[in-house]
């Protein structure tokens, strides 16, 4: 059916524009000006955004039905046929817009950020590599969201895992201060391995799916889902739970979230793009995409929701005890992802997607402004080192991200301050900023259907506001606690302008799904069949609905947020922290706070329970089994010795004894017989005559006596 005037066929460009960008930068990047490298990469991403817009327009114009655009044949073996088809429907276009939109802004930001970072770390040549990896990430994420089968999704899934590894470990041999260190590569490895465990879950889900459904294409699977659920109970449950393992890996839920905080070792644009806005939302996308499967197994849904809710609260408590500005944001991301996972677990797909989109805006904004703050601190430090009159060796380990070194930055970096404020308010969920609308929808759904989840989520929301307030007071207010903070400078336009765009989105983003209008809901409805309201009677106040918004829940959550901010002001704002002073909350909560500070010692726990035995076993297998037994004993002692004995046996008795003896014997025989026969020719005529006579006698005798 010819769709003239529509742009569905452009969908392949969303993958191939970034690919072309990265190829250009691989080949020419090192020789070109940094600005050109950055511009090419950002243009590739920007054009992908434009294509996504066109696809969205095409969907709107054609009534929102899903379109599948086949691209290439990939695997075709026997009855197994897995092509590469693109799927353009409202859900995938939503993701495409988020990824390319936020991605382009971050590309632009990174032009300026990396310019300063490579000079701070003193390795200018690495600049173009960053943009190659960023474009690769965009391409992979696009494959993830535009695939029409679980296998294509998985290709993208793995690809973004790879890019995460590459980008976290971008400074693989240097630490944040430019000294040699393997900390970043270790963090990258941790991310990859944790993700791999999740990928195993995904693969198990895919295998099970293929075994029972015979296909991995979305269309086929969703059509057959109900029939399989009826005929073979337990299959869908298994598939969804395996998928959940994958989600906990990629979207950093309990128990596989441990990689995300360490991933902050990567440059800030990476943290913003991958670990806040896009890659980590892949898990949420997966569940939303598989709504047809999840809606058949309410038990699995409940497990998902619980996992999300518990993670949300857990991570929020840890965030309260962190001092590194990016670590706070990392745990905040885990917590917000918990919100999203809980939402889609409860069946509130629209709420979850809404929060995903808005979270991308304000979290990216927060990360990027944190990056701006860090840059400012680094500039201040540099300034200090330059003008240091006293030459007391300033080899102090200066961490530009430690909030205990900051303070009073709103005077030195006003633009960053205001933008960061907007982001924090949005995250805390204060009306009318973006986070209010989406978080509220989630809380409403939880309140209506799952009280336990509601309690967990609302506590997490309280803590979210608290720790964001703490961060704002510690960073921007009070007096500078370190000389570097005093001399911090504002960041250039190339950094602050993308922040402004994101800030605008954070303010206005709520418009995407306002009550009474519900634009996003109507948009997504084309793809997701929203569950009807659950059967149970909805009591009293919960039934009030102002076009979808319940005032009671909204008011409760807003009050709690304001309360939290007030508390944080009491602790951190009223008496600003002095340099070296212990966190007042620590004085209050003591060991509880220490637990938060140490992340509940989860990493240490994993290290002792999983890593240590694993390494010990690996070492045992390598040293004892492989080297000692297999090599030293089996190979050397038995096999080599036998071989040597065997060759010696063949060589000495057989080769020397028999074969040489034969040939030598023949020679000796010839010699001896010739020596003997030579006697006949002694030169004496008389003996020759004798032999003649002998012959005559013999012949005569023979003739006579025969």
Partner 1 sequence: MDSLLIFFLILALASVLSALGLLVSRSAVYAALFLVLNFACVAIFYLLLGAPFIALTQITVYAGAIMVLFLFVIMLLGSEKLPKGTSLPWQRPLAIGLAAILLFEAGFLLFQRVKLTAAIAQPGVEVNSVDAIRTLGLNLFNQYLLPFEVTSILLLVAMIGAIVLTKHEKGATA
Partner 2 sequence: MEATIPLSFYITVSAILFTMGALGVLIRRNALIVFMSIELMLNAANLAFVAFSNSYGVLDGQIFVFFVMTVAAAEVAVGLALIVAIFRSKHSIDVDQMSSLKG
Nearest to 448 by CA among 326, 351, 571: 351
**Token digits of residue 485:** 């903070």
**Token digits of residue 523:** 């948009």
* Binding partner of 697, given partner 2, partner 1, none, CB within 5-8 angstroms per partner class: partner 1
Shortest separation between residue 700's beta carbon and partner 1, angstroms:
5
* Binding partner of 694, given partner 1, partner 2, none, CB within 5-8 angstroms per partner class: partner 1
Shortest separation between residue 679's beta carbon and partner 2, angstroms:
9
Shortest separation between residue 684's beta carbon and partner 1, angstroms:
6
**Token digits of residue 555:** 């008011």
Q: Is 622 in the site for partner 2 (CB under 8 A)?
A: no
Binder among 100, 327, 684, 706 for partner 1 (CB under 8 A): 684
Shortest separation between residue 696's beta carbon and partner 2, angstroms:
9
* Binding partner of 701, given partner 1, partner 2, none, CB within 5-8 angstroms per partner class: partner 1
**Restricting to residues 466-505, which ones interact with partner 2 according to CB under 8 A?**
none
Binder among 389, 539, 686, 706 for partner 1 (CB under 8 A): 686
Nearest to 278 by CA among 419, 116, 97, 406: 97
* Binding partner of 77, given partner 1, partner 2, none, CB within 5-8 angstroms per partner class: none
Distance CA 295, CA 292 (A): 6
The CA-based angle 602-333-594, given to 5 degrees, is 40
From the list 317-325, 448-456, 631-639, 689-697, the region that binds partner 1 by CB under 8 A is 689-697
Give the torsion sign (CA, 359, 360, 361, 365): positive
Q: Is 703 in the site for partner 2 (CB under 8 A)?
A: no
User: Do 243 and 290 touch, CB atoms closer than 8 A?
Assistant: yes
DSSP classification of residue 78: T
Q: Is 688 in the site for partner 1 (CB under 8 A)?
A: no
Peptide bond into 432 cis (omega under 30): yes
Binder among 588, 661, 666, 689 for partner 2 (CB under 8 A): 689
Distance CA 468, CA 370 (A): 12
**Residue position matching structure tokens 């979270």:** 359
**Restricting to residues 348-377, which ones interact with partner 1 according to CB under 8 A?**
none
In the bound state with partner 1, the residue whose beta carbon lies nearer, of 662 and 692, is 692
β partners of residue 402: 324
Binder among 693, 698, 699, 700 for partner 2 (CB under 8 A): 693
From the list 107-115, 440-448, 578-586, 694-702, the region that binds partner 1 by CB under 8 A is 694-702
Distance CA 71, CA 11 (A): 10
Give every CB contact of residue 95 below 8 A, 6+ residues apart in sequence: 145, 281, 285
In the bound state with partner 1, the residue whose beta carbon lies nearer, of 77 and 680, is 680
Nearest to 282 by CA among 438, 96, 138, 141: 141
**Token digits of residue 433:** 């900023």
In the bound state with partner 1, the residue whose beta carbon lies nearer, of 33 and 679, is 679
From the list 35-43, 515-523, 651-659, 685-693, the region that binds partner 1 by CB under 8 A is 685-693
Shortest separation between residue 698's beta carbon and partner 1, angstroms:
9
In the bound state with partner 1, the residue whose beta carbon lies nearer, of 661 and 693, is 693
Give every CB contact of residue 253 below 8 A, 6+ residues apart in sequence: 247, 283, 307, 308, 311, 334, 337, 338, 341
In the bound state with partner 1, the residue whose beta carbon lies nearer, of 211 and 684, is 684
Shortest separation between residue 673's beta carbon and partner 1, angstroms:
21
The Cβ of residue 548 has, within 10 Å, a number of other Cβ atoms equal to 16
From the list 297-305, 316-324, 587-595, 695-703, the region that binds partner 1 by CB under 8 A is 695-703
* Binding partner of 681, given partner 1, partner 2, none, CB within 5-8 angstroms per partner class: partner 2
Q: Is 211 in the site for partner 1 (CB under 8 A)?
A: no
Binder among 230, 570, 667, 700 for partner 1 (CB under 8 A): 700
What long-range pairs does 144-147 form, CB within 8 A, spacing at least 24? 144/282, 144/285, 145/92, 145/95, 145/96, 145/99, 145/285, 146/11, 146/14, 146/15, 146/86, 146/87, 146/88, 146/92, 146/96, 147/84, 147/85, 147/86, 147/87
CA 453 from centroid of its chain's CA atoms? 27
Distance CA 364, CA 113 (A): 14
Distance CA 416, CA 431 (A): 21
**Token digits of residue 253:** 């839920």
* Binding partner of 678, given partner 2, partner 1, none, CB within 5-8 angstroms per partner class: partner 2
In the bound state with partner 1, the residue whose beta carbon lies nearer, of 31 and 706, is 706
Shortest separation between residue 681's beta carbon and partner 1, angstroms:
13
In the bound state with partner 2, the residue whose beta carbon lies nearer, of 661 and 693, is 693
Distance CA 231, CA 318 (A): 45
In the bound state with partner 2, the residue whose beta carbon lies nearer, of 638 and 690, is 690
In the bound state with partner 2, the residue whose beta carbon lies nearer, of 298 and 695, is 695
Helices (H) and strands (E) in the chain, counts: 30, 2
* Binding partner of 539, given partner 1, partner 2, none, CB within 5-8 angstroms per partner class: none
The secondary structure of the chain in percent helix, strand, coil, rounded to multiples of 5, reads 75, 5, 20
Identify the three-state secondary structure at position 85: strand
Q: Is 516 in the site for partner 2 (CB under 8 A)?
A: no
Binder among 75, 658, 669, 697 for partner 1 (CB under 8 A): 697
* Binding partner of 704, given partner 2, partner 1, none, CB within 5-8 angstroms per partner class: partner 1
* Binding partner of 532, given partner 2, partner 1, none, CB within 5-8 angstroms per partner class: none
In the bound state with partner 2, the residue whose beta carbon lies nearer, of 79 and 674, is 674
**Restricting to residues 177-236, which ones interact with partner 2 according to CB under 8 A?**
none
Nearest to 478 by CA among 565, 575, 587: 575
Give the number of C-alpha atoms closer than 13 A to the C-alpha of residue 125, restricted to the C-beta side. 0
In the bound state with partner 2, the residue whose beta carbon lies nearer, of 536 and 704, is 704
Give the torsion sign (CA, 354, 358, 360, 363): negative
Q: Is 676 in the site for partner 1 (CB under 8 A)?
A: no
From the list 14-22, 41-49, 543-551, 687-695, the region that binds partner 1 by CB under 8 A is 687-695
* Binding partner of 658, given partner 1, partner 2, none, CB within 5-8 angstroms per partner class: none
The secondary structure element, H or E, covering residue 72 is strand 67-77
SS (H, E, C) 490-517: CCCHHHHHHHHHHHHHHHHHHHHHCCCC
Shortest separation between residue 678's beta carbon and partner 1, angstroms:
15
* Binding partner of 700, given partner 1, partner 2, none, CB within 5-8 angstroms per partner class: partner 1
Distance CA 344, CA 350 (A): 8
**Restricting to residues 648-687, which ones interact with partner 2 according to CB under 8 A?**
678, 680-686
Total binding residues for partner 2 by CB under 8 A? Answer: 11
Binder among 510, 677, 704, 706 for partner 1 (CB under 8 A): 704
In the bound state with partner 1, the residue whose beta carbon lies nearer, of 578 and 682, is 682
* Binding partner of 685, given partner 2, partner 1, none, CB within 5-8 angstroms per partner class: partner 2
- Rounded alpha-carbon distances, angstroms, from residue 368 to 38, 169, 336, 436: 17, 19, 17, 21
Binding site for partner 2 (CB under 8 A): 678, 680-686, 689-690, 693
Binding site for partner 1 (CB under 8 A): 682, 684, 686-687, 690, 693-694, 696-697, 700-701, 704
């Amino acid at each position: 059916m010819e769709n003239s005037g529509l742009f569905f066929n452009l969908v392949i460009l969303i993958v191939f524009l970034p690919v072309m960008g990265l190829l250009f930068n691989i080949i020419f990047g090192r020789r070109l000006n940094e600005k050109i490298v950055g511009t090419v990469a950002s243009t590739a991403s920007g054009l992908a955004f434009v294509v996504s817009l066109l696809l969205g327009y095409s969907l709107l114009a054609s009534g929102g039905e899903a379109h599948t655009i086949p691209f290439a044949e990939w695997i075709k073996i026997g009855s197994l046929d897995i092509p590469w088809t693109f799927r353009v429907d409202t859900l995938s276009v939503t993701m495409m817009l988020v990824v390319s939109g936020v991605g382009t802004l971050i590309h632009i930001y990174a032009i300026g950020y990396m310019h300063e970072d490579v000079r701070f770390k003193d390795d200018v040549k690495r600049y173009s590599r960053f943009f190659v990896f960023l474009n690769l990430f965009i391409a992979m994420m696009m494959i993830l969201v535009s695939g029409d089968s679980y296998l294509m999704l998985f290709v993208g899934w793995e690809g973004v895992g790879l890019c995460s590894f590459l980008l976290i470990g971008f400074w693989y041999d240097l630490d944040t201060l430019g000294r040699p260190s393997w900390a970043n590569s270790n963090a990258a490895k941790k991310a990859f391995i944790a993700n791999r465990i999740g990928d195993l879950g995904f693969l198990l889900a895919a295998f099970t799916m293929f075994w029972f459904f015979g296909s991995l294409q979305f269309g086929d699977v969703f059509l057959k889902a109900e029939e399989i659920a009826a005929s073979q109970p337990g299959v869908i449950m298994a598939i969804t739970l395996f998928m959940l393992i994958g989600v906990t890996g990629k979207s950093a839920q309990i128990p596989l979230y441990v990689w995300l905080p360490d991933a902050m070792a990567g440059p800030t644009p990476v943290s913003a793009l991958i670990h806040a806005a896009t890659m980590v939302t892949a898990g949420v996308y997966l569940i939303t995409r598989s709504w047809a499967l999840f809606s058949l197994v309410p038990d699995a849904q409940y497990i998902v929701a619980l996992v999300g809710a518990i993670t949300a609260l857990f991570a929020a408590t840890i965030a309260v005890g962190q001092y590194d500005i990016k670590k706070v944001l990392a745990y905040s991301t885990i917590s917000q992802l918990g919100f999203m996972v809980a939402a889609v677990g409860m069946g509130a797909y629209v709420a979850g997607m809404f929060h995903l989109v808005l979270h991308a805006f304000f979290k990216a904004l927060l990360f990027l402004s944190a990056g701006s703050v860090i840059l400012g601190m680094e500039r201040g430090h540099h300034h200090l080192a330059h003008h240091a009159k006293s030459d007391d060796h300033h080899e102090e380990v200066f961490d530009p991200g430690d909030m205990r070194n900051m303070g009073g930055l709103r005077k030195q970096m006003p633009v960053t301050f205001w933008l960061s404020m907007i982001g924090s308010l949005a995250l805390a969920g204060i009306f009318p900023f973006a986070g209010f609308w989406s978080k509220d929808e989630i809380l409403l759904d939880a309140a209506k259907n799952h009280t336990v989840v509601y309690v967990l989520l609302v506590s997490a929301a309280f803590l979210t506001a608290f720790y964001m307030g703490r961060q704002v007071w510690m960073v921007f207010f009070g007096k500078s606690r370190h000389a570097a903070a005093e001399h911090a400078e504002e960041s250039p336009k190339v950094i602050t302008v993308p922040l402004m765009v994101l800030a605008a989105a954070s303010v206005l983003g709520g418009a995407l799904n306002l009550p009474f209008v519900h634009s996003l809901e109507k948009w997504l409805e084309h793809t997701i069949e929203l569950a009807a309201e659950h059967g149970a009677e909805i009591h009293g106040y919960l039934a009030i609905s102002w076009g979808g918004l319940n005032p009671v829940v909204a008011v409760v959550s807003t009050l709690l947020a304001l309360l939290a901010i007030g508390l944080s002001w009491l602790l951190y704002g009223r008496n600003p922290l002095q340099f070296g002073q212990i966190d007042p909350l620590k004085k209050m909560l003591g060991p509880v706070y220490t637990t938060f500070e140490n992340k509940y010692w989860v990493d240490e726990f994993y290290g002792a329970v999983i890593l240590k035995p694993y390494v010990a076993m690996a070492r045992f297998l390598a040293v004892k089994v492989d080297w000692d037994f297999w090599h030293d004993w089996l190979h050397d002692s038995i096999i080599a010795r036998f071989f040597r004995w065997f060759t010696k046996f063949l060589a000495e008795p057989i080769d020397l004894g028999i074969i040489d003896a034969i040939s030598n014997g023949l020679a000796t025989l010839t010699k001896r017989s010739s020596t003997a026969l030579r006697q006949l020719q002694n030169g004496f005529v008389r003996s020759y005559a004798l032999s003649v006579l002998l012959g005559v006698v013999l012949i005569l005798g023979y003739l006579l006596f025969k």
